[in-house]
Amino acid sequence: MPELSIVVLCYHSGKTILPFFNELEELLDNTGIDYEIVLVANDFAHSKDETMEIVRKLAEGRRRVKTVTKIKKGMMGWDMIQGLNASAGKYICVIDGDGQFPIRSVLEVYQIIRNGKFDLVKTYREQRHDGFYRALISGIYNFLFNMLYPGLHSKDINSKPKVITREVYEQMNLQSTDWFIDAEIMILARKLKLTFTEIPITFAANDSRKSFVKVVAILEFIKNLIVYKFKK
């Protein structure tokens, strides 16, 4: 069992995953932590995207690197669950592989959780450079979440990296296969009375591709937020 598993969501990252991976690997190698990196590059059956092949080549000859390259049966939540299930670490961290979240924050949240005071440690986007639209949507998400689920006081539900203990992950039994997965994690943190903390980060712009968060995903998130409230 490695000390730390880092699950990297790589969907349609293409060659941009290469500098992200290199920086992450160098950061971790310099710490002496017993780690593994789980590169999740699931895709749809008829996709011509090259990310699957890129991450497979990255893993060749690297004992600390795993890949998850399955035919997709869901969206971001499904990918995340596949990656988390493939991980073996005492602590499990998840981060997007597009470089918008600072890579060093992986180490920062890990250093906090390993002290044993918290079950979950995550970031919040104190500064954002991804445009007014995304910031507005995020603000709506967080307002609705805290209105429907008072008492948790999370500043940024969807922010990553998030790191949890393996014991916590096994208690959660995550089910969401879409964009709601981050909200489900925080709802379950509230239900399970987990201790958690958040640290500030600067969220970078993504100039390599357009956002995957469309209007349909926003409406789906709001619907799930309400449905989940009465379901649980």
Peptide bond preceding 200 in cis form (omega within 30 of 0): no
pLDDT more than 70, % of the chain:
95
Instruction: In whole angstroms, give the CA distance from residue 45 to residue 148.
Output: 37
pLDDT at 121: 98
**In the chain, domain spans:** 4-231
What tokens were used for 88?
Answer: 């073996």
> What is the CATH T-level fold of the domain 4-231, as seen in this structure?
Spore Coat Polysaccharide Biosynthesis Protein SpsA; Chain A (3.90.550)
pLDDT at 212: 56
Helices (H), the chain: 17-29, 51-59, 76-86, 104-113, 132-148, 166-172, 181-191, 215-231
197-212: pLDDT as tens digits: 999 999 998 876 665 5
pLDDT at 133: 75
pLDDT at 227: 82
pLDDT at 131: 79
What tokens were used for 50?
Answer: 């090259």
pLDDT at 53: 98
Strand ordering across the sheet containing 4-9: 65-68, 35-40, 4-9, 91-96, 162-165, 120-128, 196-203
Helix, strand, coil shares, percent, the chain, to 5: 40, 20, 40
- Residues ≥6 apart with Cβ < 8 Å to 153: 146
| Residue burial 161-187, b: 16+ Cβ < 10 Å; e: rest | bbbbbbebbeebeeebbebbbbbbbbb
pLDDT at 120: 98
Instruction: In whole angstroms, give the CA distance from residue 66 to residue 87.
Output: 8
pLDDT at 220: 76
Helices (H), 60-165: 76-86, 104-113, 132-148
The low-confidence residues of the chain, meaning pLDDT below 50, are: none
pLDDT at 31: 95
Instruction: In whole angstroms, give the CA distance from residue 85 to residue 168.
Output: 13
